[in-house]
Amino acid sequence: MARRTRLAVVEVSSSPEPEPAPLPRADRADCDDLDMEIEFDSDLEALINEASQPPPPPPERPPKPAAPLDTGRRRALSDRPRFKLARAQAGAESTPAPAAAPGSDEEGQLWWQQHAPATAAELAVHSAKIAQVRGWMEMAADAAAGRGSRGSGFFRILVLEGPAGSGKSTCVRVLARELGLDVLEWINPLSVRLSDAAHQADDAPGVARRFEEFLLQAQRLPSLALQPADGRHREQGRGKLILVDDIPNIGHRDTRESFREALLRFVAIPAHRSFPMVVVVTESFAAQQVLEDDGARRAVRRQRDNDAWSHVDMAVWSAMDVLPAAVHGSPYCQTIRFNAVAPTIVAKALRRILHIRSGRDPAKSAKLAPATAAAVKAIADECQGDLRLAVIKLQLALAGAAPAAGDSPVGRKRRRGAPAAVDAVDGAAAVGLGEARRSALDMFHALGKVMYAKRSPAHTSGGRGRLEADPDEVLDRLPTDLGTFGLYVHENYLDFCSAPGEAAAAAECMSDADALASSGRGAGAADVYAAMVAVRGYMHARGHPLLADGAAEPAVAVRPLDDGRRRAMFAFRKPAFFENYRLRMAHSRLLRDEACAGALRLDALRLPDSRLAPDFLPFWARIAAGRGALLGPGAPVRLARLAAPGCGPDALPWRLAAASVRDAQPDPLAAADPQPAPLAEDDIQDYSD
């Protein structure tokens, strides 16, 4: 471990040459490999103890691997954020000399790191997407260098959204390399406390403060001129790119707030005095955060169903949640969405790796052996668009077939004179591996198994036949948590019921399930039982002969719907629950704002929504509409919208009243939607901050 050189500010950058011999070859060391960074070494412990030594290292220091670390550097290590380290030997700790054969890299490395694309042409991303990102980066780099054209000052933050393994980070790195930008990456520090709050007395800063420091330093400090061993200097004055791939734990409230503040401050800096930032938001990461936060949310939600808790929003975690609204909505922030990689592209990427490994030229598309081709196809189909997962699977599948590594130290790409070993891989083995890994059902697959509740033909005259899908197995293999799945079942079950008796029995089970799930407060197995009650209850009720309520409507397995469509083709819906919840919260806030601003000021403070909405609002809206001019512009329209659910019989006068007020005073809200309909998306935005 002592071989590893650590520097205070590191650039994961890269010389454009593909084979920089014994240099710090950071281009190969893909920065995603947090695993490599997590290793605690014995001297790190010692370093932390010496944290009080004088400040940072001299900017220039040749990375002599065996040299003892000076104290300055130790300090830099122990109480600064751990920036990405340039590595003398990527993953080759055990190799004695820096001149070790490149081939030995492979022992410790995964293929997805090793064979990460080096050029934009190799990226498994749609070329239009690459062009978009490249365009943004060029503009941003120009702006940072002070030679940007008009409007390029807005290129401050780029958000790349997408599922895991869709090539977001790789795309940024490859393009940065091609554009000659140094990438400064934020890596979450390992040995710090979670928050500043917990130990305010200590002067050790928490993650959030460190993030701010990181941003400040990235702006202030010039790129360190690292002098590589062969004496070649890096090109001076290269632009930099701040990459935030490893987002701080924003599930933690204090950290989240400081993170947002730091970003807000960052946006406020003019472009030419700073560097552009790329934030990579991975969706699976996000889902996890939501779950962590869920306990707290549930407690609040339970307590007061109609309270105006502005922070409780049950939207899906996305870039919207990671970035503050003021940043995300500002012109300084652009978003580019990456989609999951299509199976054909995954297969192409896998073939490329196989070709590289077998020593062929990846550009020429030689045929693979049929078995291998089948395995590649199977992996590509099963990886759900996660390229990284696909490559790992491939490596795993081939692990047994490959000969022992390290015996032929030729160049990496020319290694392996035995293509047969690769091609002879057993396709069945790869597929089998895929099966083992694929523990989760696709959401709609699971839903379909439950909703159709198919039964095998009855053996005896009296029985109903066995369920083809075992409910327990479905629940075991859910892609989401049980509560969410329950909502999906609830949203869709009515389409599959044919008689009110069936619907009532199923609905009762759903009600039971919700009551059960609420009682456990997240502890114990209550939610498991609840899901079982809901799913099994529905599956039992569906098509039950005793619930069919007479012979008029016999429950049959597949029946056309009323409008003639076959039920078998029915599309599942997403639960309306979340949208409704969000709407209710928005209405609640709006109501409170209006009430506090309007005539009911004192009443509004004295009464909860549960009385304000049903008892006062409808009348108040009418009075306000009649005297519209006395309230603020637009108020009557907003009130009328709040008061009138749907298009009740009384809605017409409201439209008229609203229209008259609108004519008098043009109001953006009313102009957007003159009907007293539920609030539109843009209205909610106005009040949610």
Partner 1 sequence: MALWVEKHRPATLDKLSFHQGLTEHLKKLAGSGDLPHLLVYGPPGAGKRTRIAAVLREIYGPGAEKLRVSQRVFETPSRRKLDISFISSNFHIEVNPSDAGIYDRVVIQDLIKEIAQTQQVATTSARKFKIVVVHEADALSRDAQHALRRTMEKYMANMRIILCSTSTGKIIAPVQSRCLLVRVAAPTVDEVVDVLGHVAKKEGITVPPAVAQQLAAGSKRNLHRALLMLEAAYVQQYPFADAQPVVLPEWEAFTKEIAASALSSQTPKQLMDIRKQLYEVLAHCIPPTTVLKAVALHLIGEVDEALRPEVARQAAFYEHRLQTGQKAIVHLEAFVAKFMSVYKRHAMATS
By CB under 8 A, what part of segment 179-208 binds partner 1?
197
CB of 480 to partner 1, least distance (A): 16
570 counts as binding partner 1 under rule CB under 8 A: no
Backbone φ, ψ for residue 240 (5° rounding): -125, 160
CB of 17 to partner 1, least distance (A): 53
498 counts as binding partner 1 under rule CB under 8 A: yes
Angle between helices 577-597 and 482-492 (to 10 degrees): 90
Contact partners, residue 73, CB within 8 Å, separation at least 6:
6, 7, 8, 57, 61
Which residue of 180, 463, 500, 666 would you call a contact of partner 1, by CB under 8 A?
500
Which residue of 560, 619, 664, 682 would you call a contact of partner 1, by CB under 8 A?
619
By CB under 8 A, what part of segment 239-278 binds partner 1?
253-254
Tokens of 22: 């014994």
DSSP string, 79-136: HS--PPPP-SSTT-TT-SSTT--GGGHHHH--HHHHT---SGGG-SS-HHHHHHHHHH
131 counts as binding partner 1 under rule CB under 8 A: no
490 counts as binding partner 1 under rule CB under 8 A: yes
CB of 627 to partner 1, least distance (A): 6
CB of 687 to partner 1, least distance (A): 13
Q: In the complex with partner 1, which residue's Cβ is closer, 207 or 350?
A: 207
The Cα–Cα gap between 526 and 572 comes to 27
577 counts as binding partner 1 under rule CB under 8 A: yes
583 counts as binding partner 1 under rule CB under 8 A: yes
CB of 493 to partner 1, least distance (A): 9
Q: In the complex with partner 1, which residue's Cβ is closer, 204 or 651?
A: 651
Which residue of 321, 620, 634, 661 would you call a contact of partner 1, by CB under 8 A?
620
By CB under 8 A, what part of segment 292-321 binds partner 1?
298-307, 309
CB of 500 to partner 1, least distance (A): 4
DSSP string, 235-280: PTT--EEEEE-S---TTSHHHHHHHHHHHHHHHHS-GGGS--EEEE
Alpha-carbon radius of gyration of the chain: 30
| Cβ burial, residue 543 (10 Å; 0-12/13-18/19+) | buried
Measuring CA to CA, which residue among 636, 495, 629 is closest to residue 569? 495
Size of the site for partner 1 (CB under 8 A): 88
Q: In the complex with partner 1, which residue's Cβ is closer, 151 or 608?
A: 608
678 counts as binding partner 1 under rule CB under 8 A: yes
By CB under 8 A, what part of segment 422-481 binds partner 1?
none
Which residue of 34, 190, 399, 494 would you call a contact of partner 1, by CB under 8 A?
494
Distances (CA, A) of 39 to 33, 69, 121, 654: 11, 18, 33, 67
Phi/psi zone of residue 153: left (φ > 0), alpha (ψ -120 to 50 degrees), beta?
Answer: alpha
| Cβ atoms of residues 33 and 113 within 8 Å | yes
379 counts as binding partner 1 under rule CB under 8 A: no
Site string for partner 1, 634-673 (x = CB under 8 A): --------xxxxx-xxxx-x--------------------
Which residue of 279, 433, 497, 637 would you call a contact of partner 1, by CB under 8 A?
497
Neighbours of 232 (CB within 10 A): 11
By CB under 8 A, what part of segment 502-541 binds partner 1?
502-508, 510-511, 513-515, 517-519
| Cβ burial, residue 177 (10 Å; 0-12/13-18/19+) | buried
The bridge status of strand 182-186 relative to strand 157-162 is unpaired
